[in-house]
Amino acid sequence: MQHICIDTAAGRQERLGRQSWHRVMRKLQVHDKEIMQVALQQEIQRSEESRYDHRLHGVLLVSHGLSCHHVAEYLGEDPVTVQRWVHRFNGNGFGGLLDGERPGRPSRITSSQWSQLEQALRQSPRKYGYSQNLWDGKLLAHHLEESCAIELGVRQCQRIFRQMGFRRRKPRPLIAKADPEAQGRYKKTPPPGSL
């Protein structure tokens, strides 16, 4: 027989005997866990802050005694990646877990050319003698070749737009400003009540 002592002054219960008192918590589940695991991993990779937090959690779990293999399994990473995080943390502290410069080909555009290009993209292409109203990857590639003697592909120029914080805008078709009769011929569905 086990005795339960109620301490009314403190308002808590203690269980006497060999077992300690603990609360029973219901196990929770995430719906569609396989899909959600992938979605969570993708969300972590989206921002620099969340990647830093992800690495912090990995190092914290290792500091609690979990192996790099177990931590990697929990976090969806490779065990060698977790080992690198721990080594970087041991060598450089919290700064070692921050995102560093990623390796890659050096930029062909100098910092002064980058500034000039940013100013040019804030202007209309017509100011530079082009017939288009909006900048796109193809026009930017042509502009860089003409003004800076730098040859870049269209996709690379589209990345430049994104790096500079520009978003893609599509030109509105002329049919939007046309007369109502021309608009009616262009539309795929007839107007209501015309059938």
Q: Do 150 and 108 touch, CB atoms closer than 8 A?
A: yes
Q: Kindly report the pTM of this predicted structure.
A: 0.42
Low-confidence ranges of the chain (pLDDT < 50): 1-18
C-alpha 78/C-alpha 73 separation (Å) is 8
Instruction: Give the list of residues 6+ apart from residue 44 with CB closer than 8 angstroms, or none.
Output: 50, 51, 53, 54
Q: 163-176 pLDDT, tens per residue?
A: 888 877 766 666 55
> Which pLDDT belongs to residue 91?
93
**Can you give the residue ranges of every domain in the chain?**
33-97, 105-186
> Which pLDDT belongs to residue 3?
46
Q: 69-85 pLDDT, tens per residue?
A: 999 998 989 999 999 99
Q: Do 55 and 44 touch, CB atoms closer than 8 A?
A: no
C-alpha 16/C-alpha 20 separation (Å) is 7
C-alpha 195/C-alpha 184 separation (Å) is 14
Count CA within 13 A, CB hemisphere, residue 115: 2
> Which pLDDT belongs to residue 7?
45
Q: Do 45 and 54 touch, CB atoms closer than 8 A?
A: no
> Which pLDDT belongs to residue 150?
92
Q: Do 17 and 2 touch, CB atoms closer than 8 A?
A: yes
Residue with the two structure tokens 């017509």: 126
> Which pLDDT belongs to residue 73?
92
